[in-house]
Amino acid sequence: MDFATFLGIGGGFGVLVFAIMLEGSSLTQFVNLLAVNVVVGGALTTTLARFTLGGFMTAFTMGLKTVTFNHHTSARDMIEKIAELADVVRKQGPLGLESVEIHDPFLAKGMRMIADGFELNVIRETLERERDLHIERLEDANKLFNFMGNAAPGMGMVGTIIGLVSMFSHMDDPKKIGPGMAVALLTTLWGAIIANVVALPIADKLQIKALEEGINHTLVIDGVLMIRENKSPAIIRDMLLSYLPQKHRAAYEEAA
């Protein structure tokens, strides 16, 4: 579970609730069905118009799943695992990989291909294709939440106009002026909240995840290919250290 996502989004709403309480208002004053319907419903439907239905559902669910559950393995741990697998192949041969538990599915697929005797070029092409398609799906999810983040303030402005029209059309009835103005202001508020607290932070996190996953998968591909070429664990470890930042390389080498 990615606690940063929950802390960030939950903390954002917490700050807003605390501000409302400090001001002395009731939370129910800031919940309006029309405002939420226009902003949330409008942002979702205008984003849906940019995708196919299947593409929208895939990108939306993958985006939420990616930022909610963190399955990312650090490059340092991945290097150590690859070196361990290289040592198994050196001592027991490719079939020895079948008895090793591998938690990362991408690395596990590469090891299965080695154990099954696939040629080097086939392994490279298969893993690179899977990496590229995975990154493309993350980028689609990033685009979706970016679209939502950009649409929410616009739909909030639409709701503001609806509220103002309602207010001006009832100028002869003072009791309806207040609710109309409240709707006008609340839709702007909810548009800003949905965009800046939810949609755009998720979009930015997906962009970071895509970069991390691309680097991690490339590291795995290089490691798998070197194992397939029967390079020694020490050489594989040294060559993969280039994926670590300079300060982390020094700490890794001291620990090793």
The count of domains in the chain is 2
Output the pLDDT for position 197. Answer: 94
Instruction: Please give the single-letter amino acid code of residue 71.
Output: H
If asked whether residues 3 and 70 sit together in one domain, one would say no
Provide the mean pLDDT of the chain.
88
User: Is residue 133 domain-shared with residue 174, that is, in the same domain?
Assistant: yes
Q: Is there a domain that residue 112 lies in?
A: no
Judge if 45 and 56 occupy the same domain: yes
**Are 127 and 230 contained in the same domain?**
yes
What is the average pLDDT across 79-93? 91
Domain presence at residue 8? yes
175-189, 194-208, 240-254: which is most confident: 194-208
Question: Which tens digits make up the pLDDT trace of 24-72?
Answer: 878 888 888 888 889 999 999 999 999 999 999 999 999 999 988 867 7
Please report whether residue 98 resides in a domain.
Answer: no
- What pLDDT is recorded for position 252? 59
The whole-number pLDDT of residue 50 equals 92
Domain range holding 23? 1-31
123-144 pLDDT tens trace: 999 999 999 999 999 999 999 9
Residues 236 and 246 grouped into a single domain: yes
Residue 82 lies in a domain: no
Same domain membership, residue 51 and residue 70: yes
Residue 85 lies in a domain: no
> How remote is the C-alpha of 55 from its chain's centroid?
16
My answer on whether 144 and 37 are in the same domain is: yes
Query: Do 65 and 182 have their domain in common?
Result: yes
102 is a domain residue: no
Same domain, 6 and 54: no
Does this model's pTM top 0.75?
yes
Strand, coil or helix: what is 244? coil
Considering the domain architecture, whether residues 175 and 230 belong to the same structural domain is answered as yes
Q: Where are the alpha helices (DSSP H) in 24-119?
A: 33-36, 42-48, 53-68, 75-92, 105-115
Q: Are 194 and 147 in contact (CB under 8 A)?
A: no
pLDDT beyond 70 at 254: no
Q: DSSP class of residue 242?
A: G
User: Does residue 106 lie within any of the structural domains?
Assistant: no
Shared domain for 7 and 41, answered yes or no, is: no
Q: Are residues 27 and 141 in the same domain?
A: no
Domain presence at residue 183? yes
232 and 130 Cβ atoms separated by less than 8 Å: no
